[in-house]
Copies of this chain bind each other. A is one copy, B any other.
Amino acid sequence: MNVPRLATALTGPLLDLERKFLAAQCEIEAWFRSQWLEHAPPFYGSVDLRNSGFKLAPVDMNLFPGGFNNLNPDFTPLCVQAVQSALEKICPDARRLLLIPENHTRNQYYLQNVASLARILKLAGLNVRLGTLNAEITAPTTLELPNGGTLTVEPLQRNGRRVGLPGFDPCVVLLNNDLSAGIPDILRDIDQNLLPPLHAGWFVRRKTHHFREYDGVAAEFGQLLGIDPWYINPYFGQVSQLDFQTREGEERLAAEVERILGLTAAKYRELGITDAPYAIVKADAGTYGMGVMSVKSPADVIGLNRKQRNKMAVVKEGLEVSDVIVQEGVPTFETLEEAVAEPVVYMMDRFVVGGFYRVHTERGADENLNAPGAYFKPLAFDTPLSTPDCDGSPDCAPNRFYAYGVVARLALLAASREIENTESVLESISMAA
């Protein structure tokens, strides 16, 4: 596969921040190694990054990554090696893995992701089959892929304290389904290794849980490097018990937007940054780029019209939005073919295994790029993120990518701590039910 070089996205001079990362590489890697001994990394994850030229920060962390098909296939061996590492810790004896995909069987982009992920797992020496939670699939169903391949999904079965398929008792169950609609009974209290755990699903998970953990990680990392953690960490706050349709909580939302914009403006003044601050309002449990708006003033969230309200009120699986995160907007200064580009970094176990640019031709530098559907053009990184070129010029692509890999791993570490600390949330939900 011929992967275009990403010259356009990477022509700017290397940030001060990126130089600091390169200079401290030995400290950074040793620190990550010790962190991973204390905090088990999630099986996999992807991070949306924003690079504003003055700030490089994660804006979203996905624990059910859906774009493995967008990675440079040259890096497949990195994925395979990472899976081998993960399996060694989780279940060295594993021979069979059951992959549970999302329910939508008609999204060709998503199916290609599942095929790519299944291929990686097979290459790691696992017998892989797909079990679906989709109640409409009552018999093994073969789905055609655009590349001529096929995927067979089968209805998931419960057998005592195990799940499986006919003639297939898996050692490991891997979720590529983010459980937005809730935790299916069939997956509760199973004896098998379930990755990631149920409480990592969006039914339990909150973006604000994640970014609270990220605050801690960024502070520790800032201290390690002697930098203001703001350079890698956007301000955020939470607003609960909103009802977009009845406009309940609107004033509280406006007040939080004002607070975040104010904090950002103060920091911009302190550092002589002339950009106009903006904020992103997102469903706290949302995904797929639904329920997201970009605002430049508190007034922007007052008196939303019907279309805006509808957009914010409901996310995937028809889930109603009552809690939101208000996050400092980090503009992107990366462009590709005159379109706005946002790096997405993929990780398996504790390793960065690839990534791509989400390129959006119809959106501005201060907007959310993860729009529904296939509005974005994926553009695979052509350099792995683990190989900074210490001897090369500091602003060459491998060095920029190293910085992306560092910030992405900071978000992964925050996710590790988040999963550790939210297990009790699931318990309290289960008790209440």
A interface residue numbers (CB < 8 A to B) = 25-30, 33-34, 36-37, 74-78, 80-82, 84-85, 87-88, 92-96, 122-127, 350-351, 384, 386-388, 390
Bound form: Cα–Cα A350–B122 in Å: 18
A396 to chain B: closest CB distance in Å?
Answer: 14
What are 29 sample pairs from A and B whose C-beta atoms fall under 8 A apart?
A25-B125, A26-B126, A26-B127, A27-B95, A29-B84, A29-B126, A30-B94, A30-B95, A30-B125, A33-B88, A33-B92, A33-B93, A34-B93, A36-B88, A37-B88, A37-B92, A74-B74, A75-B77, A76-B384, A77-B78, A77-B384, A77-B386, A78-B78, A78-B81, A81-B82, A81-B351, A81-B386, A122-B390, A123-B390
Smallest beta-carbon distance A85→chain B, Å: 6
A84: B residues at CB distance < 8 A:
29, 33, 350-351
Task: Specify which chain B residues have a CB less than 8 angstroms from the CB of A88 in the assembled complex.
Answer: 33, 36-37
Residues of B within 8 A of A26 (CB): 95-96, 125-127
Query: What copy number does this chain have within its complex?
Result: 2
Q: Given A81-B81, A351-B84, are A34 and B126 also a contact pair (CB < 8 Å)? A: no
Q: Which residues of B contact A85 (CB under 8 A)?
A: 85
Q: How far is the CB of A385 from chain B (nearest CB, A)?
A: 8
- Besides A30-B92, A75-B77, 5 other A-B contacts (C-beta < 8 A): A29-B125, A33-B88, A33-B93, A34-B93, A77-B78
Report chain B residues within 8 Å CB of A127.
26
- In the assembled complex, the CB of A44 is this many whole angstroms from the nearest CB of chain B, namely 15
Give chain A's interface secondary structure class: helix
Nearest-CB residue, chain B, relative to A96? B26
Nearest neighbor of A120 in chain B, beta-carbon distance: B387
A18 to chain B, nearest CB (A): 16
Q: Are A386 and B93 in contact (CB under 8 A)?
A: no
Answer whether A124 and B351 are a contact pair too, CB < 8 Å, given A37-B92, A81-B78, A387-B80.
Answer: no
Distance (whole angstroms) from the CB of A203 to the closest CB of chain B = 33
- Measured CB to CB, the closest approach of chain B to A35, in angstroms, equals 9
Residues of chain B with a CB closer than 8 A to A36's CB: 88, 92
- Chain B residues near A388: list those with CB within 8 A: 123
- Nearest Cβ on chain B to A428's Cβ, whole angstroms: 34
Instruction: Report the separation of the CA atoms of residues A387 and B123 in the bound assembly, to the nearest whole angstrom.
Output: 5
Complex CA distance for A26 and B126, rounded to whole angstroms: 5
Looking at the assembled complex, report how far the CB atom of A390 sits from the nearest CB atom of chain B, in whole angstroms.
6
Question: Which 8 residue pairs across A and B have the least CB separation, nearest first?
Answer: A29-B125, A77-B384, A33-B92, A26-B95, A26-B127, A80-B386, A30-B95, A123-B387
